Amino acid sequence: MAQPSPVLDERARPTTDSRLRVVLLLDVQDGAQQRFLDAYEQMRYQVSAVPGHVMDQLCQSTEDPSRWLITSEWEAAEPFLSWLDSPEHREVVRPLSSCVRDTRSLRFTVFRETFGKRGVDSALPPRERSGSAHPVALGPGPDGITRHALTFAVKPGSEQTVAGILAGYASPAAKVDDTTRLVRTSLFMRGNQVVRSVEVIGDLVAALRHVAAQPEVRAVEEAINPYLEQARDLSDPLSARGFFLRAALPAVRHHARAKQPASAQEPSRYAFSYPARPGCGAATAEFLSRQDKAAVNDSGSPLVRSTVFQREDCVVRLVDLTVPPQTDPATALGITAPRAGAVLARLLRSAPELRDDAGRRAALAGWELTPITDRRSPQS
């Protein structure tokens, strides 16, 4: 039986409470690259569910394709060392270890961190993070449409009032300028949390500013202001910028069927919120995306389009389905592959049993967002 990689068996005495970065240099055996990638693919989802894990990244040398680099980040040295000593660690790394000739491990605490200008000045969320990475917003998809979302909380007890206000607003003008226009706006709620998704052709930031400046939209925003958990003043540029930074929920993955048959049923839109474990938001979003990519390429699947939004541990998935979610709960939840339910459950907090339809329907009941309004632009 192959022994665990010596890289992963090293010990380090923690000397600080700072974040820990672990760097693994690997020399993959000739002919074992695909086995190595398959092993890493399995390992990374399991590691992402370990308490204290923040992120990891796999890189390949541009000069020697057999040389690989894995970097992982942890909240502190203690959770990393605790996991290193566990039987689960030895089992997880065994397939990876059998693919490499040589390894080397380096460990560092984070001393300083610098972010690009975009992270400070953009209306989109900064790449600076606290505990887990903020994803950079996804660009336009093959259809030329950029998707973005906002999420914010209202005061408990005001949910019905806010839903009524949001459902009754007048749609703003679709045209922003000669190159930018609104395509679709979808609003959902779960409890006291509001999720608003917008689809835009052209400049996303220009479209968001355009929408915020429309009288009909401003009237709705003013009407819900008294019910917000965190006060804002959209007439004040600094307050408005702070709100959009806090509320931003970027799209990090989008998949769509290349062509829908003319006889196919018009899909309906649904949204689901996934209770990711601390530090597992990015892994949850990536896992769901992989499932949806396979589903939209299956002509027999009811999934037509899927967009995964994620910021830190907030993960929202917007899907267009040709059947109600209860008819095909596995596809609705994004767990169609074998064992996908078991993998997803490890990434989430208090997930029900996801390996059968009864458990999946229970998850639907807990994770599905209530639709408030879904409006297409007349020009789309």
Q: What is the mean pLDDT of residues 140-168?
A: 88
More confident of the two residues 123 and 278:
278
Q: What number of helices (H) and strands (E) belong to the chain?
A: 12, 12
Closest C-alpha among 19, 17, 285, 247 to residue 131? 19
pLDDT at 373: 92
> For residue 312, which phi and psi values (nearest 5 degrees)?
50, -120
pLDDT at 69: 93
Provide the 10 A C-beta neighbour count for residue 33: 15
* CA pair distance 96, 133, nearest whole angstrom: 25
pLDDT at 18: 63
Res. 261 pLDDT band, cuts 50 70 90: low
Lookup: tokens for 54? 């923040």
> For residue 316, which phi and psi values (nearest 5 degrees)?
-125, 135
pLDDT at 247: 87
Whether 319 and 272 have beta carbons less than 8 Å apart is answered as: yes
Provide the 10 A C-beta neighbour count for residue 186: 22
Q: Is the pLDDT of residue 130 over 50?
A: no
Res. 134 pLDDT band, cuts 50 70 90: very low
pLDDT at 139: 62
Burial of 218 (0-12, 13-18, 19+ CB in 10 A): middle
Can you list the pairs that 160-163 forms with residues at least 24 positions away whose Cβ atoms lie under 8 Å? 161/227, 162/189, 162/194, 162/224, 162/227, 163/189, 163/370, 163/372
Q: Mind listing the pLDDT tens digit for each residue in 179-194?
A: 888 889 999 999 999 9
Res. 299 pLDDT band, cuts 50 70 90: confident
pLDDT at 379: 56
* CA pair distance 124, 374, nearest whole angstrom: 23
Percent of the chain with pLDDT over 90: 33
pLDDT at 337: 87
Task: Give the single-character DSSP code of 322.
Answer: S
Give the alpha-carbon dihedral of 294, 317, 187, 217, to 10 degrees.
-100
CATH fit for domain 120-376, picks 3.30.200.20, 1.20.1530.20, 3.30.70.100, 2.60.130.10: 3.30.70.100
For CATH 3.30.70.100, list the domain ranges present in the chain.
6-109, 120-376
Q: Is the pLDDT of residue 11 over 50?
A: no
Closest C-alpha among 283, 209, 211 to residue 253? 283
pLDDT at 142: 65
Q: Is the pLDDT of residue 207 over 90?
A: no
Q: What is the mean pLDDT of residues 261-267?
A: 68
**Average predicted confidence (pLDDT) for the chain:** 81
Whether 292 and 304 have beta carbons less than 8 Å apart is answered as: no
Closest C-alpha among 377, 374, 368, 373 to residue 165? 373
pLDDT at 53: 86
CATH fit for domain 6-109, picks 3.40.1550.10, 1.10.645.10, 3.90.400.10, 3.30.70.100: 3.30.70.100
pLDDT at 2: 39
Q: Is the pLDDT of residue 84 over 80?
A: yes
Provide the 10 A C-beta neighbour count for residue 83: 18
Task: Give the single-character DSSP code of 279.
Answer: T
More confident of the two residues 284 and 216:
284
Q: Mind listing the pLDDT tens digit for each residue in 91-129?
A: 888 888 888 988 888 888 777 766 554 433 333 333 333
* CA pair distance 33, 23, nearest whole angstrom: 19
Q: Is the pLDDT of residue 72 over 50?
A: yes
More confident of the two residues 198 and 169:
198
Separation in Å, CA 94 to CA 6, 55, 86, 344, 370: 11, 20, 13, 22, 44
| 42-56, 62-76, 333-347: range with highest mean pLDDT | 333-347
* CA pair distance 77, 72, nearest whole angstrom: 12
pLDDT at 182: 87
Task: Give the single-character DSSP code of 54.
Answer: E
More confident of the two residues 164 and 181:
164
Q: What is the mean pLDDT of residues 166-179?
A: 82
Task: Give the single-character DSSP code of 107.
Answer: E
pTM here is 0.64
* Sheet with 303-311: strands ordered across: 268-275, 314-321, 303-311, 248-256, 145-153, 193-201, 181-190, 370-376
Q: Mind listing the pLDDT tens digit for each residue in 305-363?
A: 999 999 888 999 999 999 999 999 999 999 988 889 988 998 999 888 898 899 999 99
* CA pair distance 56, 53, nearest whole angstrom: 8
* CA pair distance 101, 132, nearest whole angstrom: 32
Instruction: State which H helix or E strand residue 130 sits in.
Output: none
**Crossing angle of helices 33-48/340-347, nearest 10°?**
50
Q: Is the pLDDT of residue 10 over 60?
A: no
